[in-house]
A and B are shown apart, each in its own frame.
Chain A
Amino acid sequence: MTDEVQPYRVDPISEPEAATEIKALLAACDLSYEATVEVFVVLRRGRRTIACAGLDKNIVKCAAISPELQGESLSLLLMTEIAHLAHERGHTHLFLYTKPDNVDRFRACGFYKVVEVPGVVAFMENTPIGVRGYCASLKTLRQPGAVIGAIVMNANPFTYGHRHLVEYAVANCDHLHLFVVAEDTSFFSYRDRYAMVKAGISDLPRLTLHPGSEYMVSRATFSSYFFKEKNAAADSFTAIDLLVFRNFIAPALGITRRFVGTEPFCKTTNKYNRDMMHWLRRPDSPFPPIEVVEIPRIANGEVPISASEVRSLLAAERFAEIGRLVPPFTLAVLRDKHRPGRTASQIPDPPTWVENALSKKGQDSYEDS
């Protein structure tokens, strides 16, 4: 049938002609092409590409329908195919970023809004019980107290700097909720990082250690997704993560205060901390404000302790120096995991998704907090 719409899958690397058509469609829809998309679904009528959507792991990107054909049935077919394709690739829980105007369209496709930066971007997921289900389980871990604190840390690896931050926080709230970033894109695996944190804080009272989730400092909440109006979106890219924290996680646990370390080295984390002050505290939100407490890093001699410094020393096998920066359990993990002959240049930099986002802003490096 000549006018039948058929879905196809496109590998943008091995099918450059199809990728060119996708780029043209995206441009016509005022969207930019994302090189991180691993695979696309396109709808074609005859030979013409009339709709597309891509998958970057479990994040739906570059979803577009030819402007003169904005029929709902096309988006339903497109998103059905994306759901099945993602499922085949092992991703059942999907996220997407879109313009707020498109929220209703994606709602019809089984996506639910999590948070929105008004006028800029909305963050959605493909389940009605995703963030709400997560918060329901968090609620069972609520603790009494007037001041409830929270820290989200990557701990790549866990150092005396992290320990200092946790000690300070515990001393300055009634109960502390400590989250370990779950995303497995760091040098140390999530499992190792979690074990290091757990060992490093086991003696501290009034503290709950939580596994991380996709709802905080994850590829999903920290997506490098940009619209063509790059500046507005780039300014908002930390906002989604912080709004999820303020609107869902903090109310679930009654968190009133978030603790962070200062960032002398890293512009990204520094920006994240600055943005935290804005999004967690801005008064025009229906959710209670959260106090942000930024404390200076402790230094070992002159230089503040940082995880990236530890990784550099590890590459050079300088275990004696590492021992002055990290607790004994972390040191044991480092010795255990270290593979001789691995040079610093071979060590992947931590969270690459943040780095990707950054390179678009022309910033230079990322250091772990």
Chain B
Amino acid sequence: MKIVREALAGTLESSDLMVRIAPRDAGLEIVLQSEVIHQFGAQIEAVARETLEKLGIDAAQVIIEDKGALDCVIRARLQTVVRRAADEWTADWSVLA
């Protein structure tokens, strides 16, 4: 799968996150803002990175505005935004779990 267009997913509401993704030539650029960045910033970024890698996304710019979301919500929002931005959605549910 490849990111071919910009996309947006999630909300700004508490316990959620808003994530935008855009195509990039090479490499993952993850820009994270979070109310809990000092405590959980590294973990949130790791979850985001792992979720993208599992989907085979190795080139994209990702901007995350986190509002204290649980890890599974972070995964869900990233998978949604990739689905909306990818050329074709080939991921099986087992990959998303």
Contact B13–A92 (Cβ < 8 Å): no
Contact A129–B31 (Cβ < 8 Å): yes
Distance from B69 Cβ to chain A, minimum over Cβ atoms (Å): 13
Contact A80–B18 (Cβ < 8 Å): yes
Across the two chains, which residue of chain B brings its CB closest to A86? B8
Asked whether any CB of chain A lies closer than 8 Å to the CB of B6, the reply is yes
Asked whether any CB of chain A lies closer than 8 Å to the CB of B33, the reply is yes
Q: Per-residue 0/1 for A80-103: is the Cβ within 8 Å of any B Cβ (1 yes, 0 no)?
A: 100110010000100000000000
Q: Per-residue 0/1 for B45-62: is the Cβ within 8 Å of any A Cβ (1 yes, 0 no)?
A: 000000000000000000
Size bracket, chain B contacts: 10 to 19
Residues of chain A with a CB closer than 8 A to B8's CB: 83-84, 87, 92
Residues of chain B with a CB closer than 8 A to A108's CB: 12
Contact A76–B63 (Cβ < 8 Å): no
Distance from A55 Cβ to chain B, minimum over Cβ atoms (Å): 14
Contact B6–A109 (Cβ < 8 Å): no
Asked whether any CB of chain B lies closer than 8 Å to the CB of A110, the reply is yes
Contact B13–A128 (Cβ < 8 Å): no
Residues of chain A with a CB closer than 8 A to B18's CB: 80, 83, 110
Distance from B17 Cβ to chain A, minimum over Cβ atoms (Å): 10
A79-B12 contact in complex given A92-B20, A92-B22, C-beta closer than 8 Å:
yes
- Most A CB atoms within 10 A — which of B6, B7, B18, B22? B18
Alpha-carbon separation in the docked complex, A83 to B8 (Å): 8
Distance from B10 Cβ to chain A, minimum over Cβ atoms (Å): 8
Contact partner of A80 (CB less than 8 A), chosen from B12, B22, B31, B63, is B12
Residues of chain B with a CB closer than 8 A to A128's CB: 31, 33, 63
Alpha-carbon separation in the docked complex, A108 to B34 (Å): 10
Residues of chain B with a CB closer than 8 A to A363's CB: none
Contact B65–A80 (Cβ < 8 Å): no
Contact B31–A76 (Cβ < 8 Å): no
Residues of chain A with a CB closer than 8 A to B43's CB: none
Asked whether any CB of chain B lies closer than 8 Å to the CB of A73, the reply is yes
Asked whether any CB of chain B lies closer than 8 Å to the CB of A77, the reply is yes
Contact B12–A76 (Cβ < 8 Å): yes
Contact A129–B63 (Cβ < 8 Å): yes
Contact partner of B11 (CB less than 8 A), chosen from A76, A92, A127, A129, is A76
Asked whether any CB of chain A lies closer than 8 Å to the CB of B90, the reply is no
Distance from A185 Cβ to chain B, minimum over Cβ atoms (Å): 23
Beyond A80-B12, A84-B8, A129-B31, list 14 extra A-B contacts (CB 8 Å): A76-B11, A76-B13, A76-B14, A76-B67, A80-B11, A83-B12, A87-B6, A87-B7, A109-B12, A110-B12, A110-B18, A127-B20, A127-B63, A128-B33
Chain A to chain B contacts (Cβ below 8 Å), 18 pairs: A73-B14, A76-B13, A76-B14, A77-B11, A80-B11, A80-B18, A83-B8, A83-B18, A84-B8, A87-B7, A108-B12, A110-B18, A110-B65, A127-B63, A128-B31, A128-B33, A129-B31, A129-B63
Q: Residues of B at under 8 Å CB distance from A?
A: 6-8, 11-14, 18, 20, 22, 31, 33, 63, 65, 67
